[in-house]
């Protein structure tokens, strides 16, 4: 199967170094539209949708493959292989931060840098040493709500994730994105996301990484960002003024500035 059509891959930009953007749970490549224009002069921008998301080929969805985050990492590597990408800057939001970690651990020579926005290697608390932000019962309750009333679940969760009450249109967009996803596929993706434990994978990363930690993020609290930074050799942590879990949508200017400063540091 043609990977480029399967994953609805789009390429733009006037640069030569690839900058590959991986969207989060319940989203698609369109969520990057506030950020990517800032990098088009200097990079080759590559966008895609995971199989099961956005305008990907739903006929290619395999429940077994996508039962874990490894299947999504395979999508990232498939896109890289199809376009023969090297020296890639891989930008991952939310769960795609861990997908990026897995992809980089599989093929470290393919990537030059990782940018991890709101990463979490484990969402479930693991007392007494690890704070993930949720008890297992919390996650199970969210999954049960998905099963009972998917639209209600999306309408409740999306605005809380965005956490920018003064911009309700962003919560509405995320709600609509959740609701455009097949509920069965979303349910499997949610389970693969929220029950994953990628803490050991962080320690194996050898690609330099920028960790962007938002303020007042219900999905990935500050303790998680600090854990990611401590666990990843050669990582850089930046705590953002942005609130919520989607700064590339709610605070694109700050997101762009921090990424650009990391990729192209200004001379002193």
Residues annotated catalytic, as ranges: 94, 217, 245
Burial class (CB in 10 A: 0-12, 13-18, 19+), 166: exposed
Burial 28-59 (b: 16+ CB within 10 A, else e): bbebbebbbebbeebbbbbbbbbbbbbebbee
Q: Which long-range contacts (CB under 8 A, 24 or more apart) does 74-77 make?
A: 75/7, 75/48, 75/50, 75/51, 76/20, 76/22, 76/100, 76/103, 77/103, 77/106, 77/107, 77/110
Asked if the bond preceding 106 is cis, omega within 30° of 0, the reply is no
């Amino acid at each position: 199967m043609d990977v480029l059509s399967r994953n609805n891959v789009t390429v733009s930009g006037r640069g030569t170094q690839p900058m590959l953007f991986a969207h989060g749970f319940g989203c698609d490549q369109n969520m990057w539209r506030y950020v990517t224009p800032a990098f088009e002069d200097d990079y080759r921008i590559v966008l895609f949708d995971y199989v099961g998301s956005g305008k990907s080929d739903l006929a290619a969805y395999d429940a077994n493959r996508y039962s874990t985050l490894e299947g999504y990492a395979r999508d990232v590597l498939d896109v890289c292989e199809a376009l023969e990408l090297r020296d890639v800057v891989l930008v991952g939001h939310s769960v795609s931060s861990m997908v990026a970690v897995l992809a980089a651990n599989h093929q470290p020579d393919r990537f030059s840098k990782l940018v991890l926005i709101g990463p979490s290697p484990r969402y479930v608390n693991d007392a007494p040493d690890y704070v993930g932000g949720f008890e297992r019962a919390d996650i199970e309750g969210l999954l049960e709500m998905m099963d009972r009333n998917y639209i209600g679940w999306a309408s409740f969760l999306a605005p809380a994730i965005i956490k920018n009450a003064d911009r309700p249109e962003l919560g509405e967009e995320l709600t609509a994105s959740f609701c455009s996803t097949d509920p069965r596929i979303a349910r499997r993706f949610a389970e693969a996301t929220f029950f994953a434990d990628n803490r050991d994978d962080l320690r194996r990363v050898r690609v330099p990484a920028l960790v962007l930690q938002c303020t007042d993020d219900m999905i990935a609290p500050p303790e998680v960002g600090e854990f990611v930074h401590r666990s990843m050799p050669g990582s850089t942590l930046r705590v953002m003024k942005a609130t919520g879990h989607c700064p590339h949508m709610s605070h694109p200017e700050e997101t762009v500035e921090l990424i650009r400063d990391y990729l192209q540091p200004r001379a002193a």
